[in-house]
Structure formats: C-alpha cells, structure tokens
Amino acid sequence: MNGLDGIIKQLEGQKAAIERALQALREVGGDVPGTSLPSASTANGKRSAAQKARWAAKRAAEGSPSATPAKAKRGMTPEGRQKLAEAMKQRWAAKRTAAQAKRGSGRPRKVAAAA
C-alpha cells in the first residue's frame, strides 16, 4: 500500500495546485466555476485595456504631451544652402579645368585636310 499512498499524496498536491490556479483565474475574470477558460482574444483584450490604462496614468503623471517643448525641425537655412551651392560650383569648376588640362596635354587631334 506504500505505493498507493505516494500516488495519493501526489494527486492531492496536484489538486491543491489546480485549486490555486482556478482561484487565480476567478480573480482575473473567470466568474463561473467549471466553465472553460476565456478565449485568447478576450484575454488579450483585457490585457490591452489594462496596458492602455497604465500608459494613460503614466502620461497623466508626467504632464500633458503638449506641455513638453517640441524638438526644433532640422533643415537647411538659406545661408547654408547658398554656401553649399558656392562650394559645388567651385568643385565643378576645378573638375572642369582638370579635364580640359588633361585633354590639352595629350596628342594633338588630327584635323581633316581640306580637299
């Protein structure tokens, strides 16, 4: 009978664990004992609503979002744009003169003879 006593103790331990789990589920929202568990979408909906409530409370504690200063929008000022345009013109002028110098230093081109 020693083996049966061990099995009984094990089953009673499982029964106690199941009782605790059922009690926790009833506290969460399962109000009718013996019914099936709520569907995953219902459980997710409750968790989502609770999460929204927590974030709303946090935002309310920190102050309204409009009270915080907005970040300055970064962009190019007209002066910066003008400087950039000048720099690009200088780069292209340097590149153009380098290309012309390279063309001029090579072998002279053949000119078609007049007939």
Q: Domain extents for the chain?
A: 1-30
The 10s digit of each residue's pLDDT in 54-68 is 888 888 887 755 555
Evaluate whether 38 touches 28 at the Cβ level (below 8 Å): no
SS3 letters for the chain? CHHHHHHHHHHHHHHHHHHHHHHHHHHHCCCCCCCCCCCHHHHHHHHHHHHHHHHHHHHHHHCCHHHCCCCCCCCCCHHHHHHHHHHHHHHHHHHHHHHHHHHHHCCCCCCCCCC
Task: Give the integer Cα–Cα distance in Å for 115 and 109.
Answer: 18
The 10s digit of each residue's pLDDT in 27-56 is 887 555 555 555 666 667 778 888 888 888
Report yes or no on whether pTM surpasses 0.85. no
